[in-house]
Chains A and B, each alone.
Chain A
Amino acid sequence: MKYGVNEHGYYGDFGGAYIPEMLYPNVEELRQQYINIINDEGFKAEFDDLLKNYVGRPSPLYHAKRYSEKYGANIFFKREDLNHTGSHKINNAIGQILLAKRLGKKRIIAETGAGQHGVATATVCALMGIECVVYMGEIDMARQAPNVSRMKMLGATVRPASSGSKTLKDATNEALRDWIGNPVDTHYIIGSVVGPYPYPDMVARFQSVISEETKKQLLEHTGNELPQYVLACVGGGSNAMGMFYHFLDDEQVKLVAIEAAGKGVDSGESAATTFLGQEGVLHGSRTILMQTPDGQVVEPYSISAGLDYPGIGPQHAHLYKINRAQYVSVTDDEAMKAGLLCSQMEGIIPAIESSHALAQLEKMKFDINDNVVICLSGRGDKDLDTYIKYFGY
């Protein structure tokens, strides 16, 4: 693949494995084995079976007719919100739990922001009967309480991350510290296309089922497997990378990644990484991240807990730098309005993360024949409190 990773884990200037020696054996074991495991026929069969019969894939590609009328193009929603556990996160969790089993790991750790990845990981651990510890920022535990309860119900231990900004990046730090102390028996299921190589590539491969299905479904709907536009929201960037993956080499397809502007890119309360970030190293990879001139990581803000990460995956940083994808941002207000609109025009309450992608439609000009695919990465059940408070219902 033209835009894929090289043998040292780099996408152009980005990627690599900037990890302390304590993590080297774990990461190296993964690096040596992940391609063989993923390409093994037995693995593929088990992965596909679980995606079909447990997750409920393929997820529909829904032609949103009222949206199409409103925006003057053929708007399609890729319905990752209909997956078991309510988001795209389960695709990666299934892949990694099967991989962990083949590596002989007895214990799983994960980080979570909105809680969707935590729930997905707790779910697959229950399914496989493996011990599960999920790290979650204290602030996120409060604003995503239903997901904390879900994880507990599923048998996982949820450990609060109380350092730093008490959100996703700090949960990731805690998970990495746990892994350092448990180098032999534990696998770390990273939830996004971030982290040291091979994680960004591995997670992208597990999420690539999104675009693989989309191509087939679009062919059925429109007679052409290629749309004019593909839109997805980006925190770390896993649903976007899965949504872009099989379109990357089709250069005529315009890829649009939507970051969270929070209260506005210039407000000091934002998570618009490509607007506000510089190149640097975080959580094991060289990427673009929000930081001070002294190289201290800045605490991001978004109303959506799944998007307030100070970096983006290294492959996104590469696609941004070489202009293969366009990176834009949407504010809290624009996203919340879009979430309400989708609820009342299409009968779908989207996760606030996905509402960011929907809000971008307002800013684009389409030709009437354009086919536009938006990744509806998750459902809004977890966000009802936030929506209700925001709209004052």
Chain B
Amino acid sequence: MKLSDKIFAMNNEPLTMNSSNRLNKLFATKKDNLLSIYYTAGYPALNTTVDIAEALEKAGADFLEVGFPYSDPVADGPTIQHSSEQALENGMTLNQLFEELTELRKRVTIPILLMGYFNPIVQYGVERFCKKAAELGVDGVIVPDLPMYEYEAMYANYFIDNNLSNIFLVTPQTSEDRIRKIDELSNSFIYLLSSSSITGGSLQLTNSIEDYYKRIKAMELSNPTIIGFGISDHKTFEQACSYANGAIVGSKFVKLLAEDGYMEKIPGFIKGIKG
């Protein structure tokens, strides 16, 4: 079967499916104001991944992105860089993360994505990584430095065969042709960057960003869109949700994890974003 047919089939699977359909089920039932939270596994300490996920689900997050740390996170700003360094010092590895995730599906029902750079996946083995992640109940993967050509030419089958969604990023500079192609290769949602920047910046809704959001909306893509980078409070969340199906908060939440008693603060944090 051709890759595009496989992806089409994935997009149109009935919603009674197994674990891998959690993302599609979510997007089919809830179309607005979806909130996703990013955090780095192993930060602030090992063996916190599932506890934090559980607390976030209870507090009302719709889906989660669990970052696995890398020594050279070129797309990340100081906050996530720091959390990655700390997580590596704490001993976080992909093996450790997978061990922590064995409990995931006993306690957490919302969709979970893994997010990280490509090299640790290459060392683990791309096919082995996809199998293992799917086995543990992971629904999708975001790998910022795995671009479309390399994905399509070399790795897509591993993801598709394991029912793992691969999430692509789109920036204000991404051409319309390329966005169309990304839409074809996507099978859950598209990650819209609010601007071309590293993570952790602040977001001012300028005319040009609004134009970009409107331009994407007018394209009527077949996949839902979620906006990330610079979403840090209720105002920026609401703005993003008026143009897309939801938004992702990362650095702001990672900062909370540095505070004492962060577990107790999670419900208030989510409430603050959702309003």
Contact = CB atoms under 8 A, between A and B. Distances in A.
B72 A169 contact: yes
A25 B173 contact: yes
Contact of A282 (B72, B93, B149, B193): B72
A281 B196 contact: no
A281 B74 contact: no
A295 B123 contact: yes
A177 interface: yes
Interface stretch (A15-23, A132-140, A200-208, A360-368): A15-23
Contacts of A278: 123
A296 interface: yes
Contacts of A284: 145
Given A20-B75, A173-B72, A180 B122 contact: no
Given A18-B145, A20-B145, A294 B93 contact: yes
B272 interface: no
B8 interface: no
A279 B122 contact: yes
Given A22-B75, A164-B72, A180-B75, A296 B145 contact: no
Contacts of B170: 21
Given A22-B75, A22-B196, A177-B198, A294 B169 contact: no
B70 A295 contact: yes
B173 A183 contact: yes
Interface residues of A, number: 36
B236 interface: no
A25 B174 contact: yes
A149 interface: no
A392 interface: no
A186 B76 CA distance: 19
B169 A297 contact: no
Given A177-B74, A291-B119, A184 B173 contact: yes
Given A17-B149, A20-B144, A294 B173 contact: no
Given A17-B147, A282-B119, A294-B94, A164 B71 contact: yes
Interface of A: 8, 16-22, 24-25, 163-164, 169-170, 173, 176-177, 180-181, 183-184, 278-284, 286, 289, 291, 293-297
